[in-house]
Amino acid sequence: MTTIHEENNKLTPQPKRRSLDFFLRWEWLLVALIIVVILVNSQLSPYFLNLRNMMRATSDYMEMGLMMLPMVFIIITGNIDLSVASTLAMCASLLGYLHIQGVNIWIAALAALLLGVLGGALNGYLIARVKLPALVVTLGTYAFYRGIAYGLLGDQAATGYPPAFTFLGQGTLGAIRFPLSAVLFIICAIIFGLVLHKFTFGRYLYAIGNSEEAVRYSGVSVARVKMIIFILSGFMSALAGVVIAARFGSTRPDVGTGLELSVITATVLGGINIFGGSGTMIGAILALLLIGLMRFGMGLVNVQGQVQSIAIGLLLIFSILLPNAARQLSRRGLQIQRGTAVSALVMLALGGFFIWFFFWSRIPVLNQ
Amino acid sequence: MKKHLLFLFVALALLTVLAACGGAATPTAVPEPTEAPLAEPTEAAPVEEPTEAAAAGGGNYVLVPKNLGNPYFDTANTGAQEAAQELGVTVTYQGSSVADATEQIQLLNSLIAQNVDGLAISANDADALVPTGKEAMDAGIPVVTWDSAIAPDGRDVHINQAESQGIGAVQIQMASDLAGGEGQIAILSATSTAPNQNEWIGYMEEELKKPEYSGLELVATVYGDDEDEKSYNEAMGLMQTYPDLKVIIAPTTVGIAASARAVQDADKVGQVFVTGLGTPNQMREYVKSGAAPQFALWNPADLGYLAIYTLNAIATGEIAGEPGDTFEAGKLGSYTIADDGTILLGPPTVFSADNIDDFDF
């Protein structure tokens, strides 16, 4: 886990470049929260700081992570992709379907990746060329792709993948049992991080998120950039689909239902502005780590599933409210106006509520 | 500008420090939480219980339903708690918020991480849970499945609530009775991927091929995903699409109650009958109103009870969990593991206005 962090520290943009931008500090808040979560959890459960346990839990979040990387790109441009989990299911189902038909598993995996590219291209075409809103298009393909998944496999499960393939999702490296899927995630995260922060392409993404018109007038093909990011999203979702099929050793068409919301949650919690224009890759990765650690910790002290979701949801609202209030404060200087005061109060109340809830929820809830 | 940001962070840091203190204070209030982190069965008495469990010498079992908030699984838990009391062990009831394999695997991973003494699981996906089940057994944690099985590689023993064939047969029998031997029937199931549901539907279709049911026509199978609102809407949709529909068979506790409510709301009591699998407490009003005059079920409390007895027998080394092993399960008597690694609970019970008041679960 720490490796992800360290490896990507290099990717953090130099604070000098945009020193007034609050979001550059957002990552530090996430780091602080992660440290708090680790401290609290290690106090509460003796099983938390067990490397083997952590490594086992890590692989639960890698598919989410793989889909989150292109989601960061998409949200930075002010768009959204709701179809990622459906694309994952569609591609995993194609893989399973081809496997049942007796096709070689690696060829099937390749076909699944190709289908992901096609799915992303359809999203991209409708959004970039036909100029439909991303929310509507991907809401449509969200249902459409999931439907294809059911069409391919019906209510049966594809099983019996060869061990060489399931190793991709279940395999581990070395004595610490570092999951192979996490290695894949780290490699992808480095590539996506570099592209976002060190390449011209990344700068286009921020520019589109801030002012699409300005980018268009400066001679950059906005449509092509959008096309590329949605294709990337389709491809990464397909990759996540292949990984999840390998991890489960089977595929059902309902695989990963609702995962798109977790992906968007991690992205927004990572400080990526939902309206586009700002955010960093390291923030998103830290948010993923934070969510993973929180869920793992809460699981260890037997906090019920719904309660875990409430905790993550509150954290998300808090994370959106905090920068808002801070921006208002910094804009208005010392003058405390009513709006600022109210939002600060709401924020404090919510923060307090969250912390109270966080601990209340740790009382293991048991029926009867 | 920076000052205000700084102020905010200081405030937040203070809050988090407070939080950390609160967190540190919680475990010190509970004696030795490290030895029995699972053993806090009630909110009211979190202090005494862990010591009791420690005194019982382990026996920390977890009953994992498909999801929480389903009365069927909650009833199984009452049986499991009864078994726990008789055996002097602790049973924790832990589930994911939605009936989803991905979340269930996360939950199981955290339970394996806690080194619990045994897992009794109702699986959301027979195949996807195999690697996790294997992982648990490799870690020395026995895995018993109940209600919905994990494929044989990923578990020690599965407890069958009833033979799938018997369940399919009893539901077609009831549907035929209610329809008067002929007419359109439809099935409202849970999720389209739930292994037990599909097996039952398969047997129902088999059963319908028999000559005595030649008057019945299965017009549709729809899926309410074990969500009340969706099941209700699907039932409404069935009645609109098929005006001559006579019976809705819902082999799921969520679906049957939602369908019966839909029949009442659509003012079709006496015209459309609901049957299937449900619990008496939940179906009592619909049995009496005539919306769902008959339904069947095994006793889920017995299922949870037997699951914990089986788990305990394996965990304590009384049996190895191999086919042919015989053990005593308290009030339910003696059970033997069949050749396919399953244990059969017993035949389902049919509930109607005549006997429903004898049951309270």
**Partner-chain contact B127 A329, CB within 8 Å:** no
Degrees (nearest 5) of the Cα angle B355, B360, B361?
120
Q: How many CB pairs under 8 A join A and B?
A: 189
Under-50 pLDDT residues of chain A: 1-18, 23, 364-368
Mean pLDDT of the B76-99 span:
89
Mean pLDDT of the B236-247 span:
94
Nearest to A254 among B95, B96, B191 (CB): B191
Q: Could you tell me the pTM of the whole model?
A: 0.72
d(CA A172, CA A183) in angstroms, rounded, equals: 9
CA A173 to chain CA mean position, Å? 24
Query: Which residue of A lies nearest to B202 if distances are taken between CA atoms?
Result: A155
* Residue B20 pLDDT class (50, 70, 90 cuts): very low
pLDDT recorded at residue B258: 94
Q: Are A310 and A361 in contact (CB under 8 A)?
A: yes
Query: Which residue of B lies nearest to A333 if distances are taken between CA atoms?
Result: B1
| Most confidently predicted of B28-32, B62-66, B296-300 | B62-66
Return mean pLDDT, chain B: 82
Per cent of chain B over pLDDT 70 is: 84
Task: Report the topology of domain B164-297.
Answer: Rossmann fold (3.40.50)
Nearest to A363 among B19, B22, B43 (CB): B43
Name the nearest CA neighbour of A161 among A211, A102, A112. Answer: A102
Interhelix angle A281-300/A180-198, nearest 10 degrees: 150
Nearest to A45 among B37, B107, B191 (CB): B37
d(CA A102, CA A177) in angstroms, rounded, equals: 32
* Residues of B whose CB is below 8 A from A315: none
Using CA atoms, how far residue B138 sits from B92, B115, B153, in Å, is: 22, 12, 12
B26 vs A360, higher pLDDT: A360
pLDDT tens-place string over residues A147-165? 999 999 987 788 889 999 9
* Residue appearing with tokens 């199978």: B221
Q: What is the CATH number of domain A2-302?
A: 1.10.3470
Tell me the ipTM for this assembly: 0.72
pLDDT recorded at residue B22: 39
Mean pLDDT of the B15-23 span:
43
Q: Which CATH class is domain B53-161+300-345?
A: alpha beta
pLDDT recorded at residue A21: 53
Nearest to B4 among A29, A157, A329 (CB): A329
pLDDT recorded at residue A340: 66
| Most confidently predicted of A13-17, B158-162, B269-273 | B269-273
**Partner-chain contact A57 B110, CB within 8 Å:** yes
B91 vs A361, higher pLDDT: B91
Q: DSSP 3-state assignment of B217? A: strand
pLDDT recorded at residue B106: 87
Query: Looking at the complex, does the CB of residue B94 fall below 8 Å from at least one CB of chain A?
Result: yes
Q: Are A186 and A7 in contact (CB under 8 A)?
A: yes
pLDDT recorded at residue B194: 82
B127 vs A303, higher pLDDT: B127
Mean pLDDT of the B141-170 span:
90
Strands B183-189 and B216-223, by their bridges, are: parallel
Q: What is the largest CA-CA distance in chain B?
A: 84
pLDDT tens-place string over residues B44-82? 333 333 333 333 445 899 999 998 888 888 889 999 999
Interface of B with A in 298-337 (CB under 8 A): none
CATH fold match for the domains B53-161+300-345 and B164-297: yes
- Domain positions in chain B are 53-161+300-345, 164-297
d(CA A283, CA A277) in angstroms, rounded, equals: 14
pLDDT recorded at residue B64: 94
**Partner-chain contact A47 B115, CB within 8 Å:** yes
Per cent of chain B over pLDDT 90 is: 50
Nearest to B128 among A248, A296, A322 (CB): A248
Using CA atoms, how far residue B297 sits from B38, B147, B359, in Å, is: 31, 12, 12
**Partner-chain contact A299 B109, CB within 8 Å:** yes
Both tokens of A192, joined, read 């996506």
**Partner-chain contact A47 B15, CB within 8 Å:** no
Return phi, psi of residue B64, to 5°.
Answer: -110, 110
B181-184: long-range pairs with CB below 8 Å, 24+ = B181/B215, B181/B216, B182/B215, B182/B216, B183/B215, B183/B216, B183/B217, B183/B244, B183/B245, B183/B246, B183/B247, B184/B217, B184/B219, B184/B242, B184/B244, B184/B245, B184/B246, B184/B247
* Residues of B whose CB is below 8 A from A326: 4-5, 8
Name the nearest CA neighbour of B62 among B39, B32, B85. Answer: B39
pLDDT recorded at residue A360: 64
pLDDT recorded at residue A347: 72
**Partner-chain contact A60 B42, CB within 8 Å:** no
